[in-house]
A and B are shown apart, each in its own frame.
Chain A
Amino acid sequence: MDGLLAGIKAVVDGLGPTVLLPIVIFVIALVLGTKPGRAFRAAVTIGVAFIGINLVLGLMFTNLADVAQSIVTNSGLKRDIVDVGWPSAAAIAFGSSVGLWIIPVAIAVNIALLMLGLTRTLNVDIWNFWHMAFMGSLVVALTDSLLMGLGVAALMAALALFFGDWTAKAVQRFYGIPGVSVPHLASAQILPIAVIVNWVIDRIPGVRDLNMDEKAIQKNFGVFGEPVVMGLVIGIGLGLLAFWNMADTSAMIVKVLHTGMNLAAVMLLLPRMVKILMEGLVPISEAARNFVQSRAGNKDIHVGLDSAILIGHPAAIASALILVPIAIVLSIILPGNQVILFADLAVIPFLVAMAAPLVNGNVFRMVIIGTVTLAIGFYVANATAPLFTDTAVAASFSLPEGTTLITSVVDGFLWISWVVVKAVEWAGALGILALGVVIFLCIFSFKKNPLAWQKLADIQTEEAKKVPAGAPAE
Chain B
Amino acid sequence: MAKHILVACGTAVATSTVVCMAIEEAMKEKGIMVSTQQCKATEVPSLVENADLVVSTTPLPDDLPKPSIVTLAFLTGIGKDEIIEKIADHLRS
Contact = CB atoms under 8 A, between A and B. Distances in A.
A310 B40 CA distance: 12
B46 A271 contact: no
Interface string A330-371: 000000000000000001011000000000000000000000
B42 interface: yes
B9 A308 contact: yes
A309 B15 contact: yes
Interface residues of B, number: 29
Given A275-B38, A305-B76, A308-B58, A285 B11 contact: no
Contact of A309 (B17, B38, B57, B77): B57
Contact of A308 (B15, B61, B76): B15
A317 B42 contact: yes
A345 to B, nearest CB: 13
A303 B78 contact: yes
Contacts of A314: 59, 61
A225 B40 contact: yes
Contacts of A271: 11-13
A386 interface: no
Contacts of A308: 9-11, 13-16, 57-58
Nearest to A285: B18
Contacts of A279: 17, 21
Chain A facing B: main interface SS = helix
Contact of A124 (B13, B59, B76): B76
Contact of B58 (A127, A274, A275, A309): A309
Given A180-B76, A305-B75, A309-B72, A226 B42 contact: yes
Interface bracket on A: 35 or more
A365 B25 CA distance: 43
Interface in A169-195: 175, 177, 179-180
Contacts of B40: 225, 227, 311
B87 interface: no
Nearest to B57: A309
A354 to B, nearest CB: 13
Given A225-B43, A313-B58, A314-B59, A127 B14 contact: yes
Interface string A115-133: 0000000001101100000
A124 B9 CA distance: 17
Contacts of A124: 75-77
Given A279-B17, A350-B10, A312 B77 contact: no
Contacts of B8: 312
Contacts of A177: 72
Contact of B10 (A179, A227, A285, A349): A349
B10 A312 contact: yes
B91 to A, nearest CB: 22
Interface in A74-115: 87
A282 interface: yes
Nearest to A305: B75
Given A309-B72, A309-B75, 11 more contacts: A87-B13, A128-B14, A226-B46, A282-B21, A303-B76, A306-B9, A306-B10, A308-B16, A308-B57, A309-B9, A317-B41
Which 7 A-B residue pairs are closest in the complex by CB-CB distance? A311-B10, A225-B42, A312-B58, A308-B10, A312-B41, A312-B59, A278-B17
